């Protein structure tokens, strides 16, 4: 399960950028063509956060749909797998333009009251 390693890296990046502040929520974008299972990331997140400043942090995952562009006619085609056929001209030469992302979109930290 490569999701455990991916989640460990997500947690490490968030901890580094939190600079010791309490993180309430982390939002991650995962493309549907990325071969990363969002449910596995959710499961691993709680495990990877245990004993860190992220313990108890909420994980929000936004799934980005696959989208391709025909290299012949330029038609944009929704993709549920990393290949397909253009419904406009019949070409199978598609460029994937969306859906392979894995990105930490944002993190919400608690305000510091001074």
CA-CA distance, 104 to 63, in Å (whole number)?
A: 12
Cα 109–chain centre separation: 20
Annotated binding residue 48: no
What Cα–Cα distance (Å) separates residue 30 from each residue in 3, 42, 44, 93, 110? 12, 12, 15, 24, 25
Q: DSSP labels for 70-81?
A: ETTT--EEEESS
Residue 73 in marked binding region = yes
Tell me the backbone φ, ψ of residue 39, rounded to 5 degrees. Answer: -65, -35
Which residue ranges are tagged as binding site for Zn(2+)?
70, 73, 86, 89
- Point out the annotated binding site for Ni(2+): 2
Q: Point out the annotated binding site.
A: 2, 70, 73, 86, 89
């Amino acid at each position: 399960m490569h999701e455990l390693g991916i989640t460990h890296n997500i947690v490490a990046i968030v901890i580094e950028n939190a600079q010791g502040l309490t993180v309430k929520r982390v939002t991650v974008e995962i493309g549907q063509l990325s071969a990363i299972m969002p449910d596995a990331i959710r499961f691993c997140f709680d495990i990877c956060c245990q004993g860190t400043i992220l313990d108890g942090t909420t994980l929000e995952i936004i799934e980005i749909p696959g989208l391709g562009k025909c290299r012949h006619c330029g038609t944009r085609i929704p993709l549920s797998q990393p290949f397909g056929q253009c419904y406009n001209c019949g070409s199978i030469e598609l460029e994937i333009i969306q859906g392979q992302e894995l990105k930490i979109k944002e993190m919400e930290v608690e305000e510091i009251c001074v």
